Amino acid sequence: MLRATSELEFSNEKNTEEISQLASLVLSGDTSTGEKNSTGLPEKTGYPDSVYIMAANIFQGIRFEKSPEKVLIKYGNEPLRSLPESEDESFQRSSYELAFSALKFQDILEAILIDSCIFPSTTIPDHLSSLIIVMLYDFQDRKFQARFLSDNEEPIAEVQEVENLLNSFKIKLAAALARCRIKHDALSIYHILPETVRNQELRASTLPLYAWINTCKISPEEVYYSLKKRGYNKVKSVLHIDDKVFAVDQHCYDVLIFPSHLKNNLLNIDLFKDYKLIFQDKSRSLAVHSVKALLNMDDDILMVNTGSWYTVAHMSILTNNNTSKIFVCGVKSQAKDPDLKNLFTKMGCKNIEILHEAFLNIESKDHRLQKVKVILLLPRCSGLGVSNPVEFILNEHEDTGLLKDFSQGGTSEDKLHILVQQQYEQLTHAMKFTKAQAVVYCTCSVYPEENEGVVKKALEFQDHGIKVQPYRLSPPVLPLCSLKEIHLSTDKFFRMEPSEITNGCFLSVLTRERDPSEAVSVKDVLARAAAKGLLDGIELGKASKREKKKKKSKIPLSKAPTNDSNDIQRKIAEFLNRESNANANRSETLATKTSLPRKNTTTAGSSSHVRKPNKPTSNPLVPTFMKNTAQPRPYERQTNFVRSRPEDRVMALKPVEIVLPPVMLPFSGSQGIKSQIPTQHFYYRWVGPKTVMPNYFPSPSISRRGEKPRENLPSSLLRHPRPWL
């Protein structure tokens, strides 16, 4: 039946347009390609010869090998000759993408070659089999149309030979492809792929681009202005927007987000050419920002399995204003050092030192790493939380064998076990560095075995014999910007699931427990802050009075003479002694205050520093020398307050300002308050202050002459245990 259908479809073998319609396919890796082509965008025209050669060599190393009884096509072991230009980044990316696409459809492509009688009827050397596979994929991807050849390109004999062979079998190849689609009941060979692979490629086609700002070369504001001049508008979200827009990431202040379709345009602007903006996956930016949050000014950093050198550069840029040094271990070949130094120089990085030893071979007591306080561990992982495996392989891994796992949508149990064991060994080794105080562990995996499984096991079996505090799991140091992120981080792990806006990411922060013998009290914190000048204008309270006397007897202050400091402390001590006797003299104070002349009351009310209360209750916020004096002298009070603030240490008795006269508080008369008011009646005349302090409540009901004041506020509500604070 399949043969009859094929004969009807290909009755006119000379009709190229009909062949193209029968063999039309959706591009693997971009489900929207067909739609794009229907809108008038140009069709694919093929790759340069050097890309086919490099893709064939990559495919040769990652292809699936079959058992001898099932082998239909033999692959040679000899690699094809590559040109020097194949080392270019754009050539590498194109070659890996082509090899990965051929790997996903290896079984189908081999079946098409057998069905079309190319194998075994033709005598083609075995070492060209890989080249045939990758070129056949591109041939059907172009709907069997001719390849566009550049005049400036040097042709390669092997590529020309294979291309001529495929062109001669064009009709039979199209027929074999049509039969394969009918057999699998699929609209295209893309729909034959596993669902996990299709979903992964769907995300890859729409995933936004992330780029971090090189703040050593340009400020964020300058980047925004430059992009705006080029027609890019700043928005809150770039999802489902086809215009030239960008947004600022919520987790990393120096990371910008662009729609995926703008990549080719962005690569051609100066911001990217001059390393002012650098494309990189967001998970790596999250890792370096987590390290930055744990650093002090002079702490060094050890980076393990960095993958992309852009990650190292980003860490260097974030610590540019510090005296930190970044150690990068695991660089196997010293031949790369000149290229790396040249790259770092172009990016403005100055604090990077490369270590050529493997991480597990570095001793924890290495003299070079004695100032390392934070270790950033980016272990090799399955990476199945990443949507674009080619970018992941190029930027983070040199092991192209992981493309096999991506092509199948999962990792085998044996390989996953090997990765988990490597991750555990590296994490436990990082925890042995006695000077380090934190370890940041970050992966792009979705497997719990590689994430929380490794961390929990390392914490459980960490060595408690060494004379350092053990590690504990700490909460994320990154902001949680949604309820989903908060829910995913309830167990102190930071997780981002693969979605249409970001790749998957797992991040864990381990910090050493605080040594109980080094516990710092609140008094010590305040004392240190005062010694550093962080508490200028604020006097320490009663709790630190004795300590301050002891310290001042040993360490003279450079800002003020010793006599002035002792005088201040003596006055504070006298003030506290008077306050301790305030309750005993309440009745005497009450009688004294009720007989105060109106003139003195007015004078006290006009002071911009202290408002003398008219209520007949003792209040600890009011200085005692004001209470026990029958004839107060305003000029002496003012002098005392000036003396209590040497060196511009503002207002040792500043809380006195919030003591409000009862006539200014518009409280309603309640039974609880009335019970505390004396039975006799008082008549006052209140004159408002010339300068209203911001802490005063507005009082529309100031008592006039001859009027009764409103009920007083209970003294218990106004008491303050340390009024000089």
Instruction: Output the DSSP codes for 538-583.
Output: ----GGGHHHHHHHHHHS--SSS-HHHHHHHHHHHHHHHHHHHTTT
Mean pLDDT, residues 74-87: 77
Distance of CA 507 to the CA centre of its chain: 10
Quick one: 609 exposed, middle or buried, by C-beta within 10 A (0-12, 13-18, 19+)? Answer: middle
Q: What span, in angstroms and rounded, lies between the C-alpha atoms of 562 and 555?
A: 10
Average pLDDT over residues 51-79: 89
- What percentage of the chain's residues is helix, strand, coil (to nearest 5)? 45, 10, 45
Give the pLDDT of residue 43. 62
Whole-angstrom distance, CA of residue 506 vs CA of residue 499: 14
Reported confidence tier of residue 385, pLDDT bands at 50, 70, 90: confident
Q: Is 444 a catalytic residue?
A: yes
Percent of the chain with pLDDT over 90: 40
CATH top class, domain 281-515: alpha beta
Query: pLDDT band at residue 139, thresholds of 50, 70 and 90?
Result: very high
Q: Distance of alpha carbon 535 from its chain centroid, rounded?
A: 32
Q: Which of 284, 294, 283 is nearest to 476 (CA)?
A: 294
Average pLDDT estimate for 303-308: 88
Contact 605, 693 (CB under 8 A): no
Query: Greater confidence, 611 or 447?
Result: 447
Confidence of residue 331 (pLDDT cuts 50, 70, 90): confident
Give helix 89-104 / helix 129-141 axis angle, nearest 10°: 90
Task: Residue 226: name the closest of 280, 265, 276 by CA.
Answer: 276
Least confident among 211-220, 311-320, 474-483, 654-663: 654-663
d(CA 321, CA 669): 61
Q: pLDDT at position 151, please?
A: 76
Please report the sign of the dihedral spanned by the C-alpha atoms of residue 312, residue 318, residue 319, residue 321: positive
Q: Check pLDDT > 50 for residue 30.
A: no
Handedness of CA 252, 255, 256, 261 (dihedral sign): negative
Any idea which residue has 């270590």 for tokens?
Answer: 355
| pLDDT at position 685 over 50 | no
**Other CB atoms within 10 Å distance of the CB of residue 611:** 21
Residue 644: the pLDDT is 47
**Residue type for position 633:** R
| Among 27-41, 355-369, 445-459, the range of highest mean pLDDT | 445-459
For residue 605, give the nearest of 626, 575, 629 by alpha carbon: 626
Numbered ranges of CATH 3.40.50.150 in the chain: 281-515
Asked if residue 312 lies in contact with residue 328, where contact means CB atoms within 8 angstroms, the answer is yes
Lowest-confidence range among 75-79, 142-146, 149-153, 608-612? 608-612
- pLDDT, average across residues 574-601: 53
Residue type, 106: Q
Encoding tokens for residue 586? Answer: 């309440």
Question: How high is the mean pLDDT of the chain?
Answer: 76
> How far is 464 from 458, CA to CA, in rounded Å?
12
Q: Which amino acid is at 2?
A: L
pLDDT above 80: residue 714: no
pLDDT beyond 90 at 209: yes
Q: Is the pLDDT of residue 596 over 70?
A: no
Among all chains, which residue has been given the structure tokens 């396919």?
A: 25
> Do 371 and 300 meet the contact criterion of CB atoms below 8 Å apart?
yes
- pLDDT at residue 40, rounded to an integer: 40
More confident residue, 280 or 535: 280
Helix (H) or strand (E) holding 136: helix 129-141
CA dihedral 618, 621, 623, 624 (to 10 degrees): 30
Q: For residues 473 and 496, what is the distance between their CA atoms, to the nearest angstrom?
A: 18
Mean pLDDT score, 88-117: 91
pLDDT given at position 219: 95
Find the range with the poorest average confidence among 51-60, 277-286, 478-487: 478-487
**What are the pLDDT digits (tens) for 638-668?**
444 444 444 445 555 555 555 555 554 444 4
Backbone φ/ψ region at 252: left (φ over 0), alpha (ψ -120 to 50), beta: beta
Of 28-42, 516-530, 645-659, give the lowest mean pLDDT range: 28-42
Task: Indicate the pLDDT class of residue 549, thresholds 50, 70 and 90.
Answer: low
Give 692-711 pLDDT, tens digit per residue: 444 444 444 444 444 444 44
Q: Kindly provide the b/e burial profile for residues 164-175, where b requires at least 16 CB atoms within 10 angstroms of the residue's own CB.
A: ebbeebbbbbbb
**Token pair recorded at residue 481:** 């910007």
Local structure of residue 145 (DSSP, 8 states): P
How large is the average pLDDT for residues 558-577? 59
Q: What is the mean pLDDT of residues 406-418?
A: 89
515 pLDDT more than 60: yes
Residue of 117, 444, 481, 505 with catalytic role? 444
